[in-house]
Structure 1
Amino acid sequence: MKNLALIIALVLFSSCYAQKNTLKFPKNGTSPKATLNEVSWIEGRWLGEAFGGITEEIWSPPLGDSMMFSFKLVSDGKVVFYELGGIRQVDDSLIFQLKHFGNDFKGWEEKDETVDAKLVKIEDSKVYFDKFTFEKISDSEINIYVVIEENGETEEVKFNYKKQ
């Protein structure tokens, strides 16, 4: 019985620990007030490694109430998939939105659908959107944490990027 309790405690701790860097937007919650200037440190060309390949994200500076980005995963010299999106100023807060595309630029989401992540909170070096976190390590390094849900499994994935 004591071993069973220990195993249950470890499983609960592991599942909590596995998603320690991301937050979920609370049901019936409200996004805090925020501006693009508070997240402008994301701007730049960032390279990293994930999923057995090279990842690249390019973020534009704030302009027109948005910061736009492109992402691609390259494995064995070939693009696996792309993402296009951005952070938009909506009223007095921010929203992170994206769309996925195959290497042939055919969309994964339906025509008018996007993956939308509401702002949860901003700290000194972290910006928390629903299931996405941007973390400033230094002027030349950031981490992006993403909750990926697939086949009933949930995993928090860390993308470490160096500025180019």
Structure 2
Amino acid sequence: MKILLLLFFVPITFLKAQQTLQWQENTISPEAALTDVNWISGHWKGEALGGTAEEIWSPPLGDSMMGAFKLVADGKVKFYELCTINQTGQTLLLRIKHFDNDMKGWEEKDETEDFRLIKIEKDKVFFDGLTFEKVHHNELNIHVRFQESGEEVTFNYKRAK
């Protein structure tokens, strides 16, 4: 199901340099707080998959950040995602659920796609196979590694006005 995560992002550029990390057995997630990733908050847009992708991330509140995504092509919503970055103990966890345009879920009722935190830096946060990177205040890159092929792709958002 992690391949579905690709639909959550906006492709603009493809980079050859490795920007993601993979969870290794015996890895322990580092200590991190939502304030460390507050820069993800905002209203983001870009062109992708033959349409317009829109993503909105709330600031931290109640031990989580909430993200909502939709893809619109040919004037119609193709699908949605609901995402959270949760404070889980002393670390962070990214969770995603996908929905058709009629809000029917892709994952089973009690299942989510979970991405454990591997590493955190000033303007980068590395989850398992997925990295958020603050390029500057108005630009966000998200690097994704395909689980099946191992190929890494970079996606780009611009802050909506």
Structure ranking higher in helix proportion: 1
- Identity value in percent: 57
| Structure 1 residues 50-105: Cα deviation after superposition (integer angstroms, max 9, x where no partner) | 22221111000000000000011111211111110110000000000010111111
Please give the alpha-carbon distance, in whole angstroms, between the structure 2 residues aligned to 1:143 and 1:95. Answer: 19
How do 1:12-161 and structure 2 match up within 5 A? Answer: 18=16, 20-149=18-147, 152-161=148-157
State whether residues 70 and 82 of structure 1, in contact with CA within 8 Å, keep that contact through their aligned partners in structure 2: yes
| Counterpart-to-counterpart distance in 1, 2:52 and 2:20 | 23
Secondary structure at the counterpart of residue 156 of structure 2: strand
> Which piece of structure 1 moves more, 73-82 or 92-101?
73-82
Structure-2 separation of matches of 1:140 and 1:39: 15
Q: CA deviation at 1:18?
A: 4.9
Higher relative contact order (Cα pairs below 8 Å, separated by 6+ residues): 2
Distance 1:19 1:113 in 2: 32
Give the Cα–Cα distance (whole angstroms) in 2 for the partners of residues 62 and 33 of structure 1. Answer: 16
Distance 1:82 1:148, change over 3 A: farther
Corresponding residue number in structure 2 for 1:163: 159
The root-mean-square deviation of aligned C-alpha atoms, in Å, is: 1.5
* Higher gyration radius (CA): 1
1:63 alignment partner, SS class: coil
Q: Give the TM-score normalised by the residue count of structure 2.
A: 0.85
Q: Kindly provide the amino acid, as one letter, of the partner of residue 57 in structure 1.
A: E
Q: Number of matched residues? A: 146
CA distance in 2, matches of 1:146, 1:157: 5
* Aligned equivalents of 2:106, 2:99: Cα separation in 1: 6
Structure 1 residue 124: Cα displacement? 1.9
